Amino acid sequence: MEARPQGAPAGRSGDGAPARPVADGRTEPERVAVTPAAAELLRMLTGKHGPLMFHQSGGCCDGSSPMCYERGEFRTGDSDVLLGELRIDGVPDPVPFWMSAAQFAYWSHTHLTVDTVPGRGSGFSLEAPEGVRFLIRSRLLED
């Protein structure tokens, strides 16, 4: 699998990642969005920490959850796929949402929505001390 192009996404108002054009003229479907509660949390965390990023985790314990870091804290590479750049009203920089390419191979048929729930952690994700946790809600991609 190839990493998806990281070209600047077309503008769109509201919260979420816009659909992106791909080379052959088709439109790459939106893969990731945020709920209003997650957008509010991202606004708050941006105020505290500056530009942010997500990397979707897999595995044990707090795995299968999106981890939120200061942008650049977690180094992505050729083994990762950029699923989208979340545009949040009131957050200057889009928030990129990454996943390992190997994991994406099993996730690519689903659309992800970043939500929040009351919780306790964990990993090194930035929201845990606020008593909340980012959570992925999924649905099947329609195409």
Partner 1 sequence: MSRYAAPGTDGALMSYQPRYDHWIGGSYVAPKQGGYFENPTPVTGAVFTEIARGTAEDVERAIDAAHAAAPAWGRTPPAERAQLLNQIAQRMEAHLEELAVAESWENGKPIREALAADIPLAIDHFRYFAAAIRSQEGSLSQIDEDTVAYHFHEPLGVVAQIIPWNFPLLMAAWKLAPALAAGNAVVLKPAEQTPASIHYWMSLVADLLPPGVVNIVNGFGAEAGKPLAASARVAKVAFTGETTTGRLIMQYASENLKPVTLELGGKSPNVFFDDVSAADDDFLDKALEGFTMFALNQGEVCTCPSRALIQRSHYRGFLDAGVARTEAIVQGHPLDTDTMVGAQASNDQLEKILSYLDIGQQEGARVLTGGVRAELGGELEGGYYVRPTVLEGGNDMRVFQEEIFGPVVSVTAFEDFDEAVRIANDTLYGLGAGVWTRDGARAYRAGRAIQAGRVWTNCYHAYPAHAAFGGYKQSGIGRENHQMMLDHYQQTKNLLVSYAPQKMGLF
Q: 33 with 50: CB under 8 angstroms? A: no
Among candidates 132, 133, 70, which has minimal Cα distance to 96? 70
Alpha-carbon span 100 to 56, nearest angstrom: 8
Rule CB under 8 A: say whether 136 interacts with partner 1.
Answer: yes
Stretch that binds partner 1, among 7-15, 21-29, 33-41, 125-133 (CB under 8 A): 125-133
Q: Does 3 bind partner 1 (CB under 8 A)?
A: no
Burial class (CB in 10 A: 0-12, 13-18, 19+), 37: middle
Q: 93 or 103: whose CB is closer to partner 1?
A: 103
Q: Which of 13, 89, 137, 142 binds partner 1 (CB under 8 A)?
A: 137
Site for partner 1 in 63-122 (CB under 8 A): 63-65, 67, 69, 73-75, 100, 102-103, 106-107, 110, 117-122
Please name the residue that has the structure tokens 């939106």. Answer: 30
Question: Under the criterion CB under 8 A, does residue 57 sit at the interface with partner 1?
Answer: yes
DSSP class of 15: S
Beta bridge partners of 34: 114
Mark 13-52 with x for binding to partner 1 (rule: CB under 8 A) and - for no binding. Answer: ----------------------------------------
**Cβ–Cβ < 8 Å for 58, 80:** no
Residues making contact with partner 1 (CB under 8 A): 55-65, 67, 69, 73-75, 100, 102-103, 106-107, 110, 117-126, 128-129, 133, 135-140
